[in-house]
Amino acid sequence: RYIPLLHKVDLASISREEKVAFVLNLISGLAIHGIVEYGFPRTRCERAWFSRCVRYSIGGTPFSLDDLARRILGVRVGGPRCFIRQRAKEGDGHMQAIHVLPATDPRCLAAVARGFRSDPRPRLYGADTLDSDLRDAAEELCTEGIELDILRRCIVLPRVLKWNRSFFPNRESMLDWVGKHLAEPKRTTFMQIRRETRGYQIRFRRFDWGSNAVPASSDLVSLNLERAVLADRAKRRTAPNADELAGSEIGDAEHRERDRLESQARRKRILQYRGGGSVCPIM
- Reported as a single tens digit per residue, the pLDDT across 104-134 is 788 999 999 998 989 998 889 999 999 999 9
Torsion sign over Cα 234, 237, 242, 243: negative
Q: What value does the mean pLDDT take over residues 49-67?
A: 87
Q: 54-63, 71-80, 189-198, 237-246: lowest mean pLDDT where?
A: 237-246
pLDDT band at 1 (very low <50, low <70, confident <90, very high): low
What's the alpha-carbon Rg for the chain, to the nearest Å? 23
Q: What value does the mean pLDDT take over residues 145-153?
A: 82
Q: What value does the mean pLDDT take over residues 89-100?
A: 48
Q: What DSSP string describes 146-182? A: -EEETTTTEEEE-HHHHHTGGGSSSHHHHHHHHHHTP
Most confident of 98-107, 114-123, 207-216: 114-123
Whether pLDDT at 195 is above 60:
yes
Whether pLDDT at 95 is above 50:
no
